[in-house]
Amino acid sequence: GTNPAAGDAAERAARLCADAAAFAREWRDSDPKEASAHGAPLFALLSIAQLLEGAEAWRAASKGLPAAGPRGATDAIAMQPLSALLVRVEALSEAGLLPASLAEVEAAQAEYRLQPPEVRRAFPQLVETCVELLHAQHVALRNARCAPMPAAAGARAGTGFAAIRAQAEALVAFGGTMDVSASSGQRIA
């Protein structure tokens, strides 16, 4: 059976994350300058948590399982399509937390080293999840490519493969600089 204490802990963690997100929004709205100057780690951690939570629900949905997590999880989180999760990955790349190409790896590594330990601890799982999402996007594009489509759409799909490969290579290179468990390191590579 399931462990009710684990469910309660997950529920409390989800509530804490929601409260922290609400606090961050209120802080950003009431004092944007101060929030920007001192809240970057909090905002980074919340963005990472939202991506990881959405990816967990996406994994469950893609396997036909009910979404794991707190009983109060919103349908919006549980029903995020792959494209919405990839938008979150892109936002983390634009914020400088993840590299989108090999040329950005060094800058992302420098930004990673500036993060407090609480944020850095989330990165191995973040990188592994991002590689998994990119792989899923690659598979989806490959499957779509096998289906009959207009020639112009096929040309766009080829460009998509190159971009996915470039970002995945950058994430693997970036992940190779972190202290990760052997199993995470093998799954990333």
pLDDT at site 123: 94
pLDDT score, position 66: 63
Mean of the pLDDT values across residues 39-50?
90
The CB density around residue 172, as the number of other CB atoms within 10 Å, is: 16
Residue with tokens 């959405």, as numbered in its chain:
54
Report pTM.
0.75
User: pLDDT digit string (tens) for 124-173?
Assistant: 999 999 999 999 999 988 888 776 554 444 443 445 889 999 999 999 99
**Confidence grade of residue 177 (pLDDT, cut at 50, 70, 90):** confident
167, 163, 160: which is closest to 143 by C-alpha?
A: 160
pLDDT tens-place string over residues 63-117: 877 655 544 444 444 456 888 999 999 999 999 999 999 999 999 999 999 999 9
CB 187 within 8 A of CB 128: yes
Q: Does residue 186 register a pLDDT over 80?
A: no
Per-residue pLDDT at 2? 54
The residues, any chain, with a CB within 8 Å of residue 15's CB and separated by 6 or more, are 70, 72
Residues 175, 128: contact at Cβ < 8 Å? yes
Q: What is the rounded distance in angstroms from the CA atom of residue 157 to the CA atom of residue 149?
A: 10
Distance CA 124, CA 105 (A): 15
Rounded CA separation 104/17 (Å): 30
- Predicted local distance difference test score (pLDDT) of residue 16: 83
**Nearest-angstrom CA–CA distance, 108 and 30:** 30
DSSP H/E element including 82? helix 82-94
Report the pLDDT value the prediction gives residue 174, as an integer from 0 to 100: 95
